Amino acid sequence: MNFSLDIATLRRLYRTGELTPLALVEALIPRLHGEDTHRIWIHRLNADTLRGYAKRLEGRDIERLPFYGIPFAIKDNIDLAGVPTTAACPEFAYTPKQSATVVQRLIDAGAIPLGKTNLDQFATGLNGTRSPFGACRNPFHPDYIAGGSSSGSAVSVALGLASFALGTDTAGSGRVPAAFNNLIGHKPTCGVLSTRGVVPACRSLDAVSIFALTAEDAERVLAVAAGFDAEDEYARPLAPHGFDFGRAAGFRFGVPMQKDLEFFGNADSERLFREAVARLTSLGGTPVEVDLAPFLETARLLYGGPWVAERYLAIRDFFDAHADKVFPPVREIIGGGRDYSAADTFAHLYRLRALKRVCDAAWNDIDVLVTPTAGTIYRIEAMQADPIRLNSNLGYYTNFMNLLDLAATAVPAGFQADGLPFGVTLIAPPHQDAPLLHLASRLHQALGGHMGATGAPLPPAEQLALLPSGQIRVAVVGAHLTGLPLNHQLTERNARLVAETRTAAKYRFYALPDGKRPGLVKVGGDGAAIVCEVWEMPAGNFGSFVSGIPAPLGIGKVELADGTLVNGFICEPIGVQGAQDITEYGGWRAWLASRR
């Protein structure tokens, strides 16, 4: 194949008729069914089944199917109807009659499942070596781990076999493999992707995760796969997000204090993290030091408390009857879950509650937190020789996430001197998935390079808006500009400055007769670009803001220089009768300065 599998590229090829789903499947079949040297697959759908999925799309309207002909892989602890689910334990296997909720939503949207991927058994591990189906191998160097537990899912995307893949993430399983495979890995807000049809690890903490070539592709998957599932007791709808720091000209990002940074002797990782922090700063971010100690203490609860008992509970009947069939490191971890009492559970829950109160306070000072995704990477041989300690090192920056109910996106952040990828993770409170993915896109674009291990260049960013927003943007051109008399009407409503820009060159600009306000009028010709600011405020505050605007001004749609339309101040044509045309000044501040 001489084209990339990113979703935007495939949809373009389908729309122009240069490609059909059946032709894509025929091109993928030889690659999917060749020698599996990276130990990606546990079950690959046969050629006729793949063709059947493609043929079912014939005659369907691509515009009504957002994943028309898009191939994807599924971690083998997530159900696909008619295909065994093993959780990387053959003796545990069962064949579901129904697909997991998230899988079915994607298939209904036109996606084509390719098969079930390898994982650390029962999703217990962050390295990808704890599987009787073989240790998954890193596509950049086969002697190194691919990360886990969602190892096969990540490698399938990195090698260009799938457009995206589903994983799960309880302790970092959807982020560590992304970092080690040069991918976007999004761990959504817990509950917004249904876990019905997923073999539990820790049911109260589990999240279905997304591996993608671009942040935009991850946003597409989340938008289609999300939705409240009343039959999943842990499901919740994705609420509208707050301030979209991902697309703001300025934002505050937390950086761990030096005392909390740990790279396990890897100088390349340390250097690459510093470069990522500098990159975020260049995008308009202001770094703020954050004490990571309470987050790290929270992380230690995960494998030193009752959540290990929850792992045991998830497979108790099977484990008690067939413990000898469980992979040794996994058996050691899960078996330890039988030793916790109810009193231990409550003691840990109380401690978690106290730590969460401390950690939540950090969000008063920052919009987003950045950490390394993993401090270092290991050879497969070293991991198998010291499986517990080294795996714990991999979870240093990830294990606290779901305990604290946070959302996160892993983002590529460059390569070590030996050619192995490094990544960072952007972290925010729940329901901030869209801002996280938007900032991930900007950070990924600033890095540039290729997607996964495919060699395909990263395509230009897209301005998607697929997830619910609780914010409204408004362009201001006069007394509401920063530092001017009416700016307080924005800040009092918790509005934040998003961008300093200009309108499209389609407007005339007037000083109204009272001399205190300007009027912006769109014209058919002889227009100019006018300096403006774009602010973002909670939707609930927008009505009171608009109600206070006196005639002849009002709120309408203003076209910005980049072609986007936002709410903004406009003036009724009758309002400029007797007004002074000040278009030549290019903005309100310039005109005010001319009068001094």
Active-site annotation, residues: 75, 149, 173
Degrees (nearest 5) of the Cα angle 216, 221, 224? 125
Strands 285-290 vs 251-256: parallel, antiparallel or unpaired: parallel
Degrees (nearest 5) of the Cα angle 216, 186, 76? 115
Handedness of CA 57, 58, 62, 68 (dihedral sign): positive
Identify residue 236 by its one-letter amino acid code: R
Phi/psi of residue 177, nearest 5 degrees: -65, -30
CA distance 156 to 118: 10
Instruction: Single out the residue of 235, 142, 249 nearest to residue 536, CA to CA.
Output: 249
Instruction: Single out the residue of 47, 54, 49, 50 nearest to residue 69, CA to CA.
Output: 54
Helices vs. strands in the chain: H and E counts, helices first: 19, 21
- Write the DSSP symbol of residue 84: -
Largest CA distance in the chain: 89
- Cα distances (Å, whole numbers) of residue 44 to 70, 209, 304, 361: 16, 21, 37, 47
Identify residue 28 by its one-letter amino acid code: L
CB atoms within 10 A of CB 244: 22
Which pair of tokens denotes residue 533?
């600011």
List 395's β-bridge partners, or say none: none
39 CB-near residues (< 8 Å, 6+ apart) = 118, 131, 133, 134, 135, 136, 137, 152
224 CB-near residues (< 8 Å, 6+ apart) = 66, 67, 105, 106, 109
Identify residue 508 by its one-letter amino acid code: R
Q: For every residue of 280-323, which 3-state class applies, written as one string?
A: HHHCCEEEEEECCHHHHHHHHHHCCCHHHHHHHHHCHHHHHHHH
As to burial, measured by CB atoms within 10 angstroms (0-12 exposed, 13-18 middle, 19+ buried), residue 316 is middle
